[in-house]
Structure 1
Amino acid sequence: MHTQRAHAEQVIAAGCHYLLVVKRNQKKLRKQLRHLPWRQIPLLARTIGAGHSRREVRV
């Protein structure tokens, strides 16, 4: 619902931080994201937890 260009532009204009969910049907965006230098970004935090009968790792 919120992975829309107009919504992202509004959030950026307000100076906010956000995360966008990118689904598999957004092929062009997923391709662009795959080519970003992810390994160069330092890992600042990692949490491990459990909820709803599954293990969650957040980095």
Structure 2
Amino acid sequence: MTEKPINLNRVRKARARDAARKEADANAVKFGRTKAERLLDAARTEQARRVLDAHRTEDDEEDA
């Protein structure tokens, strides 16, 4: 019986970290988007804004 005593606080905290990591991974799969998807969305939004601004007339600029 030369085993070291088990620190229950460490075991409890390690178990909580593992559970939090599993939940974070599940949320990333469920809600997350890849960096490429975010960049593509930003590029499309910027292009749409430029196209819309290019079609503005002088009357539109006074209203804005």
TM-score by length of 1: 0.23
TM-score by length of 2: 0.22
Higher radius of gyration, 1 or 2: 2
